[in-house]
Chain A
Amino acid sequence: MHVVVNGRRTKTAAADLPALLRELEYEGEHMAIAVNSRVVPRARWGETALSAGDEIEVLTPRQGG
């Protein structure tokens, strides 16, 4: 199926968020994720099933003013 990750249409076989992160080689502890504009706390990543067309934001710390 296809999902949208950070604005990019992405083909994936992942059924949930941890599988998607592994597939796309996201690493590190400091990430925050929203699915379809709703924040998904880290504790719920494993129980968050993905569906075709889901829009996923994967965010990390950055410089800011």
Chain B
Amino acid sequence: MGGMVTFYGKEFSSRLLIGSALYPSPAIMQQAIRAAGAQIVTVSLRRETAGGKVGSNFWSLIRELDVSVLPNTAGCRSVREAVTTAQLARELFGTNWIKLEVIGDDETLQPDVVGLVEAAITLIKDGFEVYPYCTEDLTVALRLRDAGCRVIMPWAAPIGSARGLINRDALKLLRTRLPDVTLVVDAGLGAPSHAADALELGYDAVLLNTAVAKAGDPVAMATAFRLAVEAGRTAYEAGLMGPRDFASPSTPVVGTPFWHAVS
């Protein structure tokens, strides 16, 4: 199963954070989140039309799940937008947690890491507990840590691309250099094996949405990701053997029949 994971002083048994978007129906969203065993669910905030109840209906579904919510600043393209959206999220959801996204490129949805660090500094001074969505760049991660981020969330690949850990060595380096930061692979995972890969590297958790929501059977896929995360973490804690350049027999050589029988 793996031990507990800590997010800003709070302990959780689940290492799978999940998004609430893109599901075929609200009922399937609830079932998938439950099947994932997720204890932290990402949400957003959007404009409500006059007389509309879209937001309150959605919020009722989330509250039924009894999970911690992690609001995001998805869609923000400047520091000012991200900071204001975070402040609105705190007002709306009553939490200091914010998944900080400052998008720098519309084609790849790559984070604007310069703006991200600036926004993180501003928000931490304002009392927020920031979950920055960043690239796998070591220097950026170090700046975020120095700014006070105790959770850092590098992408595996662009959001919704389902490509898995395309720069595994850089992600491994982040784990090595930031041993005391809760590291979460966020975005780009497509298969449960990708999630297991991240956990086997020593990442504390993964955050995903599209891979489950857009699966043929989102509830079954949520289960598959839950099992993969548990397998990956258990393997990491068990201690994986290192790769070798040459073969090494697993069956004992001593006592092999006919060994040296011909002289």
Would A64 and B42 be within 8 Å (CB), given that A30-B59, A57-B47, A58-B47 are in contact?
Answer: yes
Q: In the complex, which residues 173-215 of chain B have their Cβ closer than 8 Å to any Cβ of chain A?
A: 209-210
Q: How far is the CB of A55 from chain B (nearest CB, A)?
A: 12
Q: Which of B87-95, B224-232, B235-243 interfaces with chain A?
A: B87-95
Per a CB cutoff under 8 Å, which of A7, A25, A27, A59 touches B92? Answer: A59
Q: B56's contact among A25, A28, A41, by CB below 8 Å, is which?
A: A28
Q: Is B32 an interface residue (CB 8 A)?
A: no
Query: Which residue from B21, B43, B48, B88 sits with its C-beta under 8 Å from A26?
Result: B48
Q: Are B19 and A26 in contact (CB under 8 A)?
A: no
Contact among B29, B53, B54 for A62, CB-based, below 8 A: B54
Q: A28-B56, A41-B91 are in contact. Are A65 and B22 (CB under 8 A)?
A: yes
Could you tell me the distance in whole angstroms from the C-beta of A23 to the nearest C-beta in chain B? 9
* B88, A32: Cβ atoms closer than 8 Å: yes
Contacts of A42 in B (CB 8 A): 91
**Chain B 10-22 interface 0/1 with A at a Cβ cutoff of 8 Å (1 = within):** 0000000001111
Give the chain A neighbours of B58 by CB distance below 8 A.
60-63
Q: Which residues of A contact B23 (CB under 8 A)?
A: 63
Known A-B contacts A28-B56, A31-B48, A31-B92; A61 and B62 likewise in contact (beta carbons under 8 Å): yes
- Beta-carbon contact of B48 and A63 below 8 Å: no
Q: B246 to nearest A CB, angstroms?
A: 44
Partner of B88, one of A6, A39, A64, A65: A39
Contacts of A6 in B (CB 8 A): 47-49
Interface residues of B in 20-71 (CB under 8 A from A): 20-23, 29, 42-56, 58-59, 62, 71
CB distance from A56 to the nearest CB of B (A): 10
Which 10 A/B pairs are nearest by Cβ-Cβ distance?
A60-B55, A64-B44, A65-B19, A65-B209, A32-B92, A63-B21, A24-B50, A28-B56, A25-B51, A6-B47
Report B's interface with A, CB cutoff 8 A. 19-23, 29, 42-56, 58-59, 62, 71-72, 74, 80, 84, 87-89, 91-93, 159, 209-210
